[in-house]
Structure 1
């Protein structure tokens, strides 16, 4: 029997992105579609509801809890999460769904492999890209048992099998989710695959994850995972 797949939009004040991305998505490709909202005040929730998309209000804040709520709210075997920011091609969600159907436990839209594009690729100094690759190498060094190394360890657009996510016992606070899923995926010998995607820079857009503060939180989690987490 073909697995069923949920599509979840994770949003926090993404009205402009939703208006540009949502119309380009084929809803009939998925068995279930819903959104997890972190507290939008710009009309995002109202827009999604106008498109007949069920919206779950995220009572426990933090990116980790957004993913946990997405996983818990799904009634399907597989889940694909997408951030409608008008930063990558929406067709990637179909590719992620297909990879899961083909046997992957986790499928990641990658900005770090051949055929992909990172928003910093046109810059001389690529702080975010370089730090992400450094983290990817460290996590691979400490936790990968076999299989390919994951290069884009911090991209949120991904899909997973619900039973794999449940085994990970994700920490219910903070922003470590993307790093944590790869790290625990390695520990579980999960089949992780990357699909190239091209990311465009959103000039003037304020990020919800500032570079320095987010980076420090991720390093703290990695330290905890290496020395204390079982």
Structure 2
């Protein structure tokens, strides 16, 4: 089993300067960066550190996932955003879990021993939204996710290709979880403790994403398999 670690970035130079050396690069067989067109030195940072970098022709988190899939050589693809939220120490744990043969393994913030970062969400709107949309998938597709939204995950490349993902923005993880449940893929989770983001506010607006997720779920619900 060979693993490709895909680093997803858009103007993350502050976080990279602080935590790049903490990322266990050697745990993966291949490392590539997919960048949304950074202007803060992120791309130059990767080049300096010998990381193959693919600059997206079109922005969007969903497109970044697909670029990663199309360019990864490994049997499994591990998506990691080095913005401070995701704990790099969980990368080897995800890889070890993948060796059991699961199609998708997600780092869950909401299972036992997991924790989400709510430092910029005092009303817990994002937290409750994540739990709500996860519960929706479980209700309609009889799945057992505790965190269907987190993008910190490792996925079998062959299974990922069969999902025919087409989400272009932050709905990509949601779509992946829905379609995996539809196709009865084998899914596992490990607990993760989400840390505080480095280098500015989150790029996704919580209320806007809640509306988009609602519309997106209805689209997926009535979409023919």
Instruction: Give the alignment's TM-score, normalised by structure 1.
Output: 0.92
- RMSD in angstroms over aligned alpha carbons? 1.8
Map of 2:150 onto structure 1: 155
Aligned partners of 1:35 and 1:55 also within 8 Å: yes
Q: TM-score, normalised by structure 2?
A: 0.94
- Give unmatched runs, 5+ long, in structure 2: none
Equivalent residues of 1:128, 1:211 under 8 A apart: yes
Would the alpha carbon gap of residues 202 and 229 (structure 1) be closer, same or farther in structure 2, given more than 3 Å must change?
same
Q: Determine the C-alpha separation between the residues in 1 that align with 2:89 and 2:43.
A: 23
Shift of residue 203 of structure 1?
Answer: 7.7
Q: How far is 1:173 from its partner?
A: 2.5
Q: Distance in 2 between matches of 1:54 and 1:140?
A: 37
Residues 1:40 and 1:122: Cα distance change in structure 2 (over 3 Å):
closer
Distance 2:5 2:50 in 1: 13
CA deviations over 1:55-82 (Å, ceiling 9, x no partner) = 0011122111110010110011001010
Once the two structures are superposed, what CA deviation does each residue of 1:10-51 show, in whole Å capped at 9, x if it has no partner?
000001111222201232221110100001010011111111
1:128 alignment partner, one of 126, 147, 152: 126
Farther off after superposition, 198-207 or 83-92? 198-207
Distance 1:65 1:203, change over 3 A: closer
2:29 to 31, 48, 54: 31
Where does 1:32-181 land on structure 2 (aligned, <5 Å)? 32-120=30-118, 125-144=123-142, 149-181=144-176
Check 1:16–1:229 CA distance in 2 against 1; reply closer, same or farther (3 A cut). Answer: farther
Q: 3-state SS of the aligned residue for 1:94?
A: helix
